[in-house]
Amino acid sequence: MRPNPRLPLTLLAALFVAAGGVASAHPVTVENCGRALRFEAPPERAVAHDINMAEIMFALELQPRIVGLTGITGWYKTTPEFDAARGDIPELAARNPSLENILSADPDFLFAGWYYGMQPGGEVTPDTLAPFGVPVYVLSESCVHLDQGRPDVSMDTLYGDVRAIATIFGVEDRAEVLIAEWEARVEAARRETTSPLRVFLYDSGDEQPFTAGRFAMPTALIEAAGGRNVIDDVAMSWGRVGWETVGERDPEFIIVLDYGEDGGAGLIAFLEAHPVMSTVAAVRNGRFLPLKYSEITPGPANIGAIEKLAAALAAHGG
């Protein structure tokens, strides 16, 4: 649309948005992992890693600005809803991308995280992409891997990322509509529970369980649903603890990760046969909730996960 110089700027902006454009307030600066990221204009060729970060961008309706995804089909079975939202956006790497994978799309932005497509000191990092003019927004939950002074995880960890991505792309209004809806749903879910049950998340692991500590998103989800993560005092994001530690804290409810193979049945069977875990209240009473990876990593699916967990806790006396 060609601007008419006689129209007021506010009207021009409104017409531009109505025509499918973005009314941008650029340049903008956002804080990310203690860094200030400045954008002179909204990115036009973005790449997103992992299903949860892709879904954040899809929720903000940014598909026209995404030229590639990484880390989706190598690990997960996608849903029809995800596939419909993705459309014809190509996958550049099925699992963790190489620098070549990323640069092959000629991007001007990457949304990834530490241990979400990037490894400290690895081939793909903000420092390795900087010489190619590709700024990286790092998933806030993952910042703790390089900075133990980060605040505890909360729902604001998710909301802050959504607002930052929206600011970078000049779609702040979309973020505020989404977050207002999510906050209302979380508040309604929280009202279902009356007393906090002790909750443990079991991702994987035989010798030691891989689980979520103080800085991982499930701690915020459990709290939002009215429960308490029994590992919430362990100063880690995702990591391993001892079975004895979990057993001593006697979880009353267990979230198991459903990676799409058996609905979490294998993990439940393992816990039922485990000499320590078979004695805890959750296992003795059969209190399990399978959740998918996208539901327990920061992203829009967190809201539905909170609703499921709150309903499950309430049904079991929470």
Taking only the tens place, the pLDDT of each residue in 93-126 is 999 999 999 999 999 999 999 999 999 999 999 9
Is residue 100 within 8 Å of 134, Cβ to Cβ? no
| Alpha carbon of residue 293 to chain centroid | 9
Cβ of 244: how many Cβ atoms within 10 Å?
A: 9
Assign domain 25-180 to its CATH superfamily: Nitrogenase molybdenum iron protein domain (3.40.50.1980)
Give the sign of the dihedral formed by CA 208, CA 214, CA 218, CA 223: positive
Q: How confident is the model at residue 1 (pLDDT cuts 50, 70, 90)?
A: very low
Tokens 């909750």: give the residue: 199
pTM given for the model = 0.91
pLDDT tens digit sequence for 137-189: 999 999 999 998 889 999 999 999 999 999 999 999 999 999 999 999 999 99
pLDDT band at 259 (very low <50, low <70, confident <90, very high): confident
Q: Please give the Cα distance from 283 to 305 (Å, whole number).
A: 21
- Give residue limits of the domains in the chain: 25-180, 194-315
Residues 150, 143 contacting (CB under 8 angstroms): yes
Q: Which residues are bridge partners to 198 per DSSP?
A: 228
Which residues, at least 6 apart from 81, have a Cβ–Cβ distance to it below 8 Å? none
25-180 and 194-315, same CATH topology: yes
pLDDT tens digit string along 203-220? 999 999 999 999 999 999
Peptide bond preceding 64 in cis form (omega within 30 of 0): no
Which range (234-238, 247-251, 272-276, 314-318) has the least confidence?
314-318
Query: Phi and psi (nearest 5°) for 180?
Result: -60, -40
The β-bridge partners of 228 are 198
Distances (CA, A) of 41 to 27, 169, 248: 6, 8, 53
pLDDT classification of 18: cutoffs 50, 70, 90: very low
CATH number of the structural domain 194-315: 3.40.50.1980
Q: How confident is the model at residue 14 (pLDDT cuts 50, 70, 90)?
A: very low
